[in-house]
């Protein structure tokens, strides 16, 4: 059975979009069928248009499909990437997750592996708590958390976060960073294959 991976991200300025794109490439090279999707933007236009970088990213990714409950039902694995806001996921991602009650109620989110990534303005800006909050949601779904742990030494070169890759805003996307994201994604695909 083919792994059908929904990569759902939210990104204001492009960091999580870039992370999700790297993950999508890694998943496809591992044999997965991938849907790269974004959580719907809920911020008012005035806020987006008031910040050049936010507006530019919003316009540049206008063609990326918005995630739906149908996408989540289609998938047999999930990779979620969202920025950190005050120690938890960005409200846009939370708003998307909160639309999934009907699918959750009929068991459509259960028994699927999930992994998560995040970013924040600084290294101690709540990245680990954001990942924990995403995994808490997965536990309510009955999903299987697939964290990278310390399963590859590249993780030590990119901050050593065993919960999921986390990027500090403005840091370069080095080869090690790309390797860490790719490793986490391939690990998720491998687990999904075993479960399938």
Examine the pLDDT at 1 and tell me if it is beyond 80: no
107, burial (CB in 10 Å: exposed 0-12, middle 13-18, buried 19+): exposed
- Taken as a whole, the chain contains a residue count of 196
Tell me what pLDDT residue 122 has: 87
Examine the pLDDT at 86 and tell me if it is beyond 80: yes
Tell me what pLDDT residue 11 has: 97
SS3 string of 145-196? ECCCCCCCCHHHHCCCCCCCCEEECCCCCCHHHHHHHHHHHHHHHHHHHHHC
Percent of the chain with pLDDT over 90: 94
Tell me what pLDDT residue 125 has: 87
| Residue range 176-195: mean pLDDT, rounded | 97
Q: Could you read off the pLDDT of 36-75 as tens digits, one per residue?
A: 999 999 999 999 999 999 999 999 999 999 999 999 999 9
- Reduced to 3 states (helix: H, G, I; strand: E, B; else coil), residue 127 is helix
Tell me what pLDDT residue 29 has: 98
Structure confidence at residue 123 as a pLDDT band (50, 70, 90): confident
DSSP state of 32: -
Q: Could you read off the pLDDT of 130-182 as tens digits, one per residue?
A: 999 999 999 999 999 999 999 999 999 998 899 999 999 889 999 999 999 99
- The rounded distance, in Å, linking the Cα atoms of 188 and 191 is 5
Tell me what pLDDT residue 51 has: 94
Percent of the chain with pLDDT over 70: 100
Examine the pLDDT at 34 and tell me if it is beyond 90: yes
- Joined together, the tokens standing for residue 53 give 């970088």
- β-strand 77-85 against 88-89: which pairing, if any? antiparallel
- Reduced to 3 states (helix: H, G, I; strand: E, B; else coil), residue 75 is coil
């Amino acid at each position: 059975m083919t792994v059908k991976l929904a990569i759902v991200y939210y990104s204001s300025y492009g960091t999580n979009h870039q992370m999700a794109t790297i993950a999508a490439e890694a998943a496809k090279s591992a044999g997965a069928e991938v849907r790269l999707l974004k959580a719907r933007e809920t911020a008012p236009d005035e806020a987006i248009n008031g910040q050049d970088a936010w507006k530019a990213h919003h316009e540049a990714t206008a063609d990326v499909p918005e995630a739906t409950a149908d996408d989540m039902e289609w998938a047999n694995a999930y990779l979620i990437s969202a920025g950190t806001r005050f120690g938890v996921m960005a409200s846009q991602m939370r708003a998307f997750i909160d639309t999934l009650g009907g699918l959750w109620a009929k068991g459509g989110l259960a028994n699927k592996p999930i992994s998560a990534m995040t970013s924040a303005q600084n290294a101690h800006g709540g990245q680990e708590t954001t990942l924990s909050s995403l995994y808490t949601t997965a536990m309510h779904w009955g999903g299987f958390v697939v964290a990278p742990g310390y399963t590859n030494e590249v993780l030590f070169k990119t901050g050593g976060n065993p919960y999921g890759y986390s990027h500090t805003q403005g840091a370069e996307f080095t080869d090690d960073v790309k390797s860490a994201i790719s490793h986490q994604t391939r690990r998720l695909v491998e687990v999904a294959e075993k479960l399938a």
